[in-house]
Amino acid sequence: MKVLLSIGVLVAVLFLGTSNSLKAQSPDQQMGFGVVLGTSTAGGNSFGGGTFAYAINPGLHIGTGFALAVSSQSGQSMNSIIFAPYVKGLFKGSKDFLPFIQGQFSINSSSAGGGNSNTRTGLSLIGGAEYFASKNLGIYGSLSVLELGFDPSVTTFGIGASASIGIEWFM
């Protein structure tokens, strides 16, 4: 059931992103990179990381988020790595301010001292808006709407189970 829902979410994002022709300042056929800060209310965790993106056209972007954290305190160490490829469909809005919907598959692997490690995978449906100050600079905020955890199996539905803000530079 989760696999069918996952496929449906990705198809919807692809269809909605390619079905509109935007005349906004959204980038077109450009590579980009950025930084993102976020929090998860479900786990109470905050995170920071980077993004790589490619604007296929002004209404459809693909990319991946990533993060790496290494910490040590009182002889205990913890390492975490996140990899999250995504597809983002942007909708018509004002010239500079565009709402979007994003489908994202995430892999989060962490390990603590003593050999304790775990890997979490899941699919998220995210809604947000991006302000394009220019064709090369976008500032965005987003809230998750649906999170489907595959390992461990958990479903979270509701606006704002996680939130993030970020900035992207396109070249």
CA distance 165 to 10: 22
Print pLDDT tens along the chain (171 aa): 555 455 555 555 555 544 445 555 788 899 999 999 987 655 556 778 999 999 999 899 999 999 887 777 777 777 888 899 999 999 988 878 999 999 999 888 888 776 778 888 888 899 999 999 888 999 999 998 888 888 777 776 667 678 899 999 999
**Count of domains for the chain:** 1
Q: Contact at 8 Å (CB) between 67 and 50?
A: yes
Global pTM value: 0.77
State which residues form the domain around 60.
2-170
**Residues 162/65, Cβ–Cβ less than 8 Å:** no
What is the CATH classification number for the domain harbouring 100?
A: 2.40.160.20
